[in-house]
Structure 1
Amino acid sequence: MSRIDDSKQFIPVRIAVLTVSDTREMADDRSGDTLVARIEAAGHVLADRKIVRDERDAISGQLRAWIADPGIDAIISTGGTGLTGRDVTVEAHRDVYEKEIEAFATVFTIVSMQKIGTSAVQSRATGGVAGGTYLFALPGSPGACKDAWDEILEYQFDYRHRPCNFVEIMPRLDEHLRRK
């Protein structure tokens, strides 16, 4: 349920999109395209976009580089969240998390159950925070990216969403790193 407080001003979030795939290129990255279209349609800024192979070090390395970039507020990856041996995106995300957003996986599962039934158990979508940056790992299908954005992230990345949202606490995500 979305409750938008129109008395608040919209604040654009700078979001990077990472596609994890051994076979995709920008020309055929439908999941990345889905995310980019939704990010921009919502009024946010596409801060960067890349494709990396299903290699844990390559994924975590790109995440760390973007976490260190002050021009990026959030990272959404797509692909590599399944159960096969090559699916290591979740592990790479957890390598960099300072805090995991456990409820993201739960809410994503609820959304997925409504769309694909019990097949939702095969997703290991995850979310977390590191270095003041939000990170989300989504499955590699355009449908899963659409569902995660349309049902969860679009609202949480909208400062006007009530009763709370990710944007309003963004300035405090790294308060533990600052000198007191």
Structure 2
Amino acid sequence: MGNHASSELKPLNIAVLTVSDTRSEETDTSGQYLVQSAQDAGHTIIEKHICKDDVYQLRAIVSKWIADPRVQIVLSTGGTGFTVRDNTPQALQPLFDTDIEGFGELFRHISYGEIGTSTVQSRAVAGFANQTAIFCMPGSTNACKTAWTKILHEQLDSRHKPCNFAPHIKVVDV
């Protein structure tokens, strides 16, 4: 999969947010999956947080990360469906300077092969804010696996060609 040059990986600093009214650190399999996958890929986890699905709490946490000079990527899981408690897109999209339309489109395209038409109920979105890339995925661990293995693993790898997100995010002083 993908064409990789021989240069070294430039590890990215990642914050992981689980959006849920019911999950705890012990039951947060989606957030744990994202943390472990990012670490296995050579990236650094700066922070992990579980937040109730509240528009203003979500904005506060992600705004803090957007302003943090260390955080380059935010991976959010949960709150992207259509229930009254699914608020992630409307909470975070107003923070975006630029939308990454292709993320949601590609996620739903790939998901169609896995879950059929149920993928239309996913409001997976992504965008840039203050040179921080923010990816909002559904709350199921399988959805996070799809997003990570089929999109994010390559797009967060600075060696992936012909392009990846590494050149578009803030530079972190070492």
TM-score, normalised on structure 1? 0.92
Aligned to 2:48, what secondary structure does the other structure show? strand
Alignment of 1:9-88 (within 5 A): 9-88=8-87
The amino acid that maps onto 2:92 is H
1:171 Cα offset (Å): 4.6
CA distance in 2, matches of 1:111, 1:45: 27
**Which residue does the alignment assign to 1:2?**
2
Aligned to 2:75, what secondary structure does the other structure show? strand
**Which residue does the alignment assign to 1:140?**
139
CA distance in 1, matches of 2:113, 2:34: 20
CA distance in 2, matches of 1:45, 1:33: 14
**Which residue does the alignment assign to 1:115?**
114
Given the alignment of the two structures, is residue 161 of structure 1 paired with residue 160 of structure 2, yes or no? yes
* Structure 1: gaps of 5 or more residues: 173-180
Identity rate of aligned residues, in percent? 43
Aligned to 2:160, what secondary structure does the other structure show? coil
1:98-143 per-residue CA deviation (whole Å, 9 max, x = no partner) reads: 1110111110011101111111100000000001100010000000
The amino acid that maps onto 2:110 is V
Q: Give yes or no for contact 1:80–1:86 (8 Å, CA) kept in 2.
A: yes
CA distance in 1, matches of 2:65, 2:144: 20
Q: Give yes or no for contact 2:72–2:170 (8 Å, CA) kept in 1.
A: no
1:168 Cα offset (Å): 2.1
Q: Give yes or no for contact 1:60–1:95 (8 Å, CA) kept in 2.
A: no
Higher mean C-alpha displacement, 162-171 vs 29-38: 162-171
